[in-house]
Amino acid sequence: MEPVGRPRAKKGILERLDSREVVVGDGGFLFTLEKRGFVKAGLWTPEAVVEHPSAVRQLHTEFLRAGADVLQTFTFSATEDNMESKWENVNAVACDLAREVADGGNALVAGGLCQTSLYKYHKDETRIKTLFRQQLEVFARKNVDFLIAEYFEHVEEAVWAVDVLREVGKPVAVTMCIGPEGDMHDVTPGECAVRLAQAGANIIGVNCRFGPQTSLQTMRLMKEGLRDSGLQAHLMVQCLGFHTPDCGKGGFVDLPEYPFGLEPRVATRWDIQKYTREAYNLGVRYIGGCCGFEPYHIRAIAEELAPERGFLPLASEKHGSWGSTLDMHTKPWIRARARREYWENLLPASGRPFCPSLSKPDA
From the annotation, which residues make up the binding site for Zn(2+)? Answer: 208, 290-291
* Pairing label, strands 172-176, 203-207: parallel
Beta bridge partners of residue 114, listed in sequence order: 150
Question: Residues 353, 354, 359, 363: what is their CA dihedral angle, to the nearest 10 degrees?
Answer: -150
Distance between first and last Cα of the chain: 47
Beta bridge partners of residue 109, listed in sequence order: 71
Q: Residues within the annotated binding site?
A: 208, 290-291
